[in-house]
Chain A
Amino acid sequence: MSDAIITVENLGKKYSLRHQRNERYTALRDVIAEKALGFFKNLKSGNGVSVSKEDFWALKDVSFEVQRGEVVGIIGRNGAGKSTLLKILSRITEPTTGKVRIKGRVASLLEVGTGFHPELTGRENIFLNGAILGMTKAEIKSKFDEIVAFAETEKFLDTPVKRYSSGMYVRLAFAVAAHLEPEILIVDEVLAVGDAEFQKKCLGKMEQVSRGGRTVLFVSHNMAAIEALCSSGLMLAEGKLVTRADAKAAVETYLRQLSRRGPLPLDTRRDREGSGMLRFISVELAADNQVRVPVFQCGATAILSLRFKSTAERELRNVRIAIGIDNESEQRILLLDTALLGQDFRTLPSRDGTIQVVIPKLSLLPGRYHFTIFATVGGVIADWIKNAAFFDVEGGDFFGTGQLPPQGQGVFTTPHSFHVESKATAKETKEPASVS
């Protein structure tokens, strides 16, 4: 109580969601058009325009304290409000309600390599990124050699970073951030980058920072890292504080909640198109034994269970279902389609039912994937929800070798084998290594 370095009281953050809007930003012409339209409507009917606005509390009534030197792991499902909390604490955005008191210099690391410019060299970017993270020029200069050594990029210091491999880029970016020395360090999921070797190094650095008596707030989905690094934990769910306990207890609560995760509702989604003959009402993830799972595993069976409802009186005929899967950079990487399989449903029972999309051996590499659900009935679009939901894929033993596919090495893996061909044995192994 006496030495609280961060005090958070009744913190809340409200966002207004606007429906029927596909644009990411407001245009003045729309505002004017809306106002004008509203004016005419007012003249006609005498009541105001109903712009469909919905308030959404990303955080609500969150109160807690953090003591000096404490290392707090912040956990919770996606959309639980973790990032919003970090953004408020690092003063990027303002809370709607409540108050935060912070005694000390804060540095936040919400993304690796913020402000890196591709045209600039590694050396130039170290200075730029350091300044952006709040270091002074003198500070950067004194740590320059250390940063370069940590990143292992000595040879490429005067090469523009656009020529860097993604691994090198991340290493350099993390190296700069790792040499920050604030009193309070706020870290979002940034350790999930780079190769395993480098991740280990980053964790070591984090440990060193926390042992140095500095206060750290750390968001991660990596429960092992939370348990190893943090002295206490804080769990959020749907914008509310659920648990404030020691790290181990918080992680346990989180895992218990995760396994209870119910189906993800889709019936409240309004950003959908289609006749509504068939509507998806929820989606959930399952593994091969039909057990609900929070995440998929690379190399294991992945099942998407889509519950649907129909408004039709009779059974539905000629139903095509398609799932488009996008990676994090919004690139369509996969299409699962009954039409491609020649498996459009002749009939589907009316009222409701469940469609299972079964992927026998998931070849997506670890990461987050968003998917779009699409259905036609008799050739007419019935339901189309772009970006309906997402699922996470965790590293799994795809090849049964005990080796996990490394991150940053593509999107997919696929069964393959290598063969050697020399003149002596050419007859025996004619087969080339299958790559596709």
Chain B
Amino acid sequence: MSPEIVIEAGHTERNYWRDLFRYRELFYFLAWRDVLVRYKQTVIGVLWAVLRPFLTMVVFVFIFGRIAKLPSDGVPYPVMVFAAMLPWQLFATSLSEGSNSLITNSNLISKIYFPRLIIPASSVIVSFVDFAISAALLALLMLWYHVWPGLHLLALPIFTIFVLVASTGAGLWLAALNVEYRDFRYVVPFVAQLGLYVSPVGFSSAIIPEKWRLIYSLNPMVGVIDGFRWSISGGRASIFLPGIWIGLAVTVLLLLSGIWYFRRMERTFADVI
């Protein structure tokens, strides 16, 4: 016999995390659905995943590398920019997918019970597919410019998880806020656009003056981007360790507070969505 379920106002379900585990298959299915729908019928979908970061990279190389003549920190400029485009794009798309996910799945929320955390979490997976596609493009670029990563490449998955955690944390906040205040959907594209220039995507973070470096690293993407460049260049690109720790702390804080806020709002989702 299954354990007794108690439904009560304000009752924090002790079974929440067990439920989350029990519904893991739904998580896979929703992720699978999103991937399937996205890449079904549309060859453009795949092309778009490649084209968007590539064109942005070309523009950045031209503006920052050629016109502003910024240093490239020991790596060919295109490789340096593209190595940053990769995590940035992963962050930006999973943030926007995650923050809209509850609204696009509102029919599920108002008709079926399941731990709502599954929805924003599974939506992040779709952006991961885009990421994998552009990673292949990065590999080609590295071959072209003869950049050899060596064993440093092993650190890449760790930084990738870092990005996913950061975007999930921020995504949970925005997803819950989006249900409550529908005009938050205008905030997300703005954040993504602004973030592209604030984060060191088009330039190396080494050009930031030393005294600002720690504050600059409060943006978790700074540490991540440094880490990506470091691990694909075989350690030739510089890495600022204190910055990475700060970024990591911010990320963990974002995730924990995101879960806390999401759980708090979750109970009323079905009433307001």
| Residue of B whose beta carbon sits closest to that of A110 | B111
Judged by a CB distance under 8 angstroms, whether B49 is at the interface is no
Given known pairs A102-B4, A110-B111, A131-B26, the reply for A27 and B181 (CB within 8 Å) is yes
Whether the pair A104, B2 counts as a contact (CB closer than 8 A) is yes
Contact pick for B37, options A25, A111, A120, CB 8 Å: A120
Q: Give A124-149 as 1s and 0s: 1 = Cβ < 8 Å from B's Cβ atoms.
A: 10011001111011000000000000
Bound Cα distance from A90 to B114, whole angstroms? 10
Give the B interface residue count (CB, 8 A). 40
Judged by a CB distance under 8 angstroms, whether A201 is at the interface is no
Whether the pair B2, A87 counts as a contact (CB closer than 8 A) is no
In the bound complex, residues from chain B placing their C-beta under 8 Å from that of A88 are 7
Q: Which of A1-49 contact B (CB under 8 A)?
A: 15, 25-29, 31
Which one of B53-61, B239-247, B264-272 contacts A?
A: B264-272
Given known pairs A100-B6, A131-B25, A136-B25, the reply for A91 and B113 (CB within 8 Å) is yes
Q: Which of A73-106 contact B (CB under 8 A)?
A: 87-106
Judged by a CB distance under 8 angstroms, whether B41 is at the interface is yes
Bound Cα distance from A29 to B186, whole angstroms? 12
Q: Which of B1-18 contact A (CB under 8 A)?
A: 1-2, 4-11
A73 → chain B closest CB, angstroms: 21
Whether the pair B29, A131 counts as a contact (CB closer than 8 A) is yes
Contact pick for B113, options A92, A96, A99, CB 8 Å: A92
Given known pairs A92-B113, A119-B41, the reply for A29 and B183 (CB within 8 Å) is yes
Whether the pair A115, B108 counts as a contact (CB closer than 8 A) is yes
Judged by a CB distance under 8 angstroms, whether B69 is at the interface is no
Judged by a CB distance under 8 angstroms, whether B64 is at the interface is no
Q: Give B77-117 as 1s and 0s: 1 = Cβ < 8 Å from A's Cβ atoms.
A: 00000000000000000000000000000011111111000
| Residue of A whose beta carbon sits closest to that of B184 | A28
Given known pairs A95-B9, A131-B25, A136-B25, the reply for A119 and B37 (CB within 8 Å) is yes
Contact pick for A26, options B8, B9, B28, B181, CB 8 Å: B181
Judged by a CB distance under 8 angstroms, whether A183 is at the interface is yes
Whether the pair B26, A132 counts as a contact (CB closer than 8 A) is yes
In the bound complex, residues from chain A placing their C-beta under 8 Å from that of B107 are 111, 114-115
A28 → chain B closest CB, angstroms: 4
Judged by a CB distance under 8 angstroms, whether A117 is at the interface is yes
Judged by a CB distance under 8 angstroms, whether B36 is at the interface is yes
Judged by a CB distance under 8 angstroms, whether B236 is at the interface is no
Judged by a CB distance under 8 angstroms, whether A108 is at the interface is yes
Given known pairs A27-B181, A92-B113, the reply for A132 and B29 (CB within 8 Å) is yes
Q: Give A287-300 as 1s and 0s: 1 = Cβ < 8 Å from B's Cβ atoms.
A: 00000000000000
Judged by a CB distance under 8 angstroms, whether B66 is at the interface is no
Judged by a CB distance under 8 angstroms, whether B52 is at the interface is no
Contact pick for A93, options B1, B32, B182, B271, CB 8 Å: B271
Whether the pair B5, A120 counts as a contact (CB closer than 8 A) is no
Q: Give B227-253 as 1s and 0s: 1 = Cβ < 8 Å from A's Cβ atoms.
A: 000000000000000000000000000
Whether the pair B36, A137 counts as a contact (CB closer than 8 A) is no
Whether the pair A94, B268 counts as a contact (CB closer than 8 A) is yes
| Residue of B whose beta carbon sits closest to that of A111 | B111
B217 → chain A closest CB, angstroms: 30
Given known pairs A26-B182, A104-B2, the reply for A99 and B111 (CB within 8 Å) is no
Contact pick for B33, options A25, A105, A108, A128, CB 8 Å: A128
Whether the pair A27, B6 counts as a contact (CB closer than 8 A) is no
Bound Cα distance from A105 to B15, whole angstroms? 13
Whether the pair B25, A108 counts as a contact (CB closer than 8 A) is no
Contact pick for A137, options B25, B30, B108, B110, CB 8 Å: B25
In the bound complex, residues from chain A placing their C-beta under 8 Å from that of B110 are 92
Bound Cα distance from A106 to B181, whole angstroms? 32
Bound Cα distance from A401 to B267, whole angstroms? 52
Bound Cα distance from A128 to B23, whole angstroms? 13
Whether the pair A25, B182 counts as a contact (CB closer than 8 A) is yes
A383 → chain B closest CB, angstroms: 31
Whether the pair A108, B113 counts as a contact (CB closer than 8 A) is yes
B4 → chain A closest CB, angstroms: 5
Contact pick for B9, options A31, A92, A94, A132, CB 8 Å: A94
Whether the pair B270, A93 counts as a contact (CB closer than 8 A) is yes
Bound Cα distance from A38 to B180, whole angstroms? 20
Bound Cα distance from A136 to B26, whole angstroms? 8
Q: Which of B253-273 contact A (CB under 8 A)?
A: 267-268, 270-272
B176 → chain A closest CB, angstroms: 13
In the bound complex, residues from chain A placing their C-beta under 8 Å from that of B25 are 131, 136-137
| Residue of A whose beta carbon sits closest to that of B181 | A28
In the bound complex, residues from chain A placing their C-beta under 8 Å from that of B7 are 88-89, 91, 94-95, 99-102
Whether the pair A103, B8 counts as a contact (CB closer than 8 A) is no
Bound Cα distance from A27 to B272, whole angstroms? 12
Q: Which of A42-84 contact B (CB under 8 A)?
A: none
Bound Cα distance from A100 to B40, whole angstroms? 44
In the bound complex, residues from chain A placing their C-beta under 8 Å from that of B10 are 94
| Residue of A whose beta carbon sits closest to that of B29 | A131
Contact pick for A132, options B4, B108, B180, B268, CB 8 Å: B108
In the bound complex, residues from chain B placing their C-beta under 8 Å from that of A133 are 112
26 examples of A-B residue contacts, CB within 8 angstroms: A26-B272, A90-B112, A92-B270, A93-B267, A93-B268, A94-B9, A94-B11, A94-B267, A94-B268, A95-B8, A101-B4, A103-B2, A103-B5, A105-B2, A106-B113, A110-B111, A114-B107, A114-B111, A117-B33, A119-B40, A120-B37, A128-B29, A131-B25, A131-B26, A134-B23, A183-B2
Q: Interface residues, chain A, CB within 8 Å of chain B?
A: 15, 25-29, 31, 87-106, 108, 110-111, 114-115, 117, 119-120, 124, 127-128, 131-134, 136-137, 183
Closest 3 CB pairs of A and B: A28-B181, A131-B29, A91-B113
Q: Interface residues, chain B, CB within 8 Å of chain A?
A: 1-2, 4-11, 23, 25-26, 28-30, 32-33, 36-37, 40-41, 107-114, 180-184, 267-268, 270-272
